[in-house]
Amino acid sequence: MLAPNIGVLALQGAFREHKRLLSTVGANVTEVRLPQQLQGLSGLILPGGESTTIGNLMVEYGLVEAIQEFHAAGGAIFGTCAGAILLARTIHGTPPQSGVQPSLNLMDITVQRNAFGRQVDSFRTTLEISGFDSPFPAVFIRAPIIEAVGEGVDVLARHQGQIVLARSGNLMAGSFHPELTGDARIHQLFLSLCREPQRA
């Protein structure tokens, strides 16, 4: 079977760690900074970082519409932390000085930014994830929570009752950083959502 072609949005944030982990599970990995780099990919990871910064750069490079079209053509997308914020239809808690928060507006979830507190409140824990036979180690860094999910969105994990991993079709959003602990099961799960592209 051919290795799937997966992109990692590489504008800002923790993209190198995702690349490394994707390579260990047999993906061909491309850094995406420009719309044409989405060609031929079956999946795209939006990493953690700073969602306002990443969003503004996405607007500047013409990536908002390009990623929406990529998804409309069948491309799978996994947003982690800031990336989950960028996927959400509704975003709460953007500081006023950050201005307008750009979003891809693709997944029917409502997120609350920085809901687990400030940088000093970052933490490591283990999560029970639906379909996994043992707990998953997760790092939360100024993480959002998924406050609400729309119809057709499956909740895959919670932390202290709050939704931290959800999936809708071939879209997945997680509050935490799954790329920092070396456990590749979530990346494998994402690969299973990636189909071959419907157009070359």
- Round to whole Å and give the CA distance between 18 and 121: 23
Active site residue 31: no
Instruction: Compute how many residues bind ligand GLN; rule: CB under 6 A.
Output: 11
Using CB under 6 A as the binding rule, whether residue 51 contacts ligand GLN is answered as yes
Active site residue 194: no
Instruction: Please identify, among the stretches 26-34, 47-55, 127-135, 159-167, the one whose residues bind ligand GLN according to the rule CB under 6 A.
Output: 47-55
Instruction: Please identify, among the stretches 37-45, 49-57, 153-161, 182-190, the one whose residues bind ligand GLN according to the rule CB under 6 A.
Output: 49-57
Considering the complex, state which of residue 51 and residue 56 has its C-beta at the smaller distance from ligand GLN: 51
Active site residue 81: yes
Question: What residues pair up with 28 in beta bridges, in sequence order?
Answer: 5
Using CB under 6 A as the binding rule, whether residue 22 contacts ligand GLN is answered as no
Using CB under 6 A as the binding rule, whether residue 19 contacts ligand GLN is answered as no
Q: Which of residues 57-96 bind ligand GLN (CB under 6 A)?
A: 81-82, 85
Judged by CB under 6 A, which of 4, 48, 79, 178 binds ligand GLN? 48
Considering the complex, state which of residue 142 and residue 167 has its C-beta at the smaller distance from ligand GLN: 142
- Round to whole Å and give the CA distance between 160 and 20: 30
Instruction: Please identify, among the stretches 1-9, 42-50, 162-170, 189-197, the one whose residues bind ligand GLN according to the rule CB under 6 A.
Output: 42-50
Q: Which of residues 115-174 bind ligand GLN (CB under 6 A)?
A: 141-142
DSSP string, the chain: -PPPEEEEE-SSSSHHHHHHHHHHTT-EEEEE-SGGGGTT-SEEEE-SS-HHHHHHHHHHTTHHHHHHHHHHTT-EEEEETHHHHHHEEEEE---GGG-S------EEEEEETTTT-SGGG-EEEEE--TT-SS-EEEEESS--EEEEE-TTPEEEEEETTEEEEEEETTEEEESSBTTSSS--HHHHHHHHHPPPPS--
Q: Which residues bind ligand GLN (CB under 6 A)?
A: 48-51, 81-82, 85, 113-114, 141-142
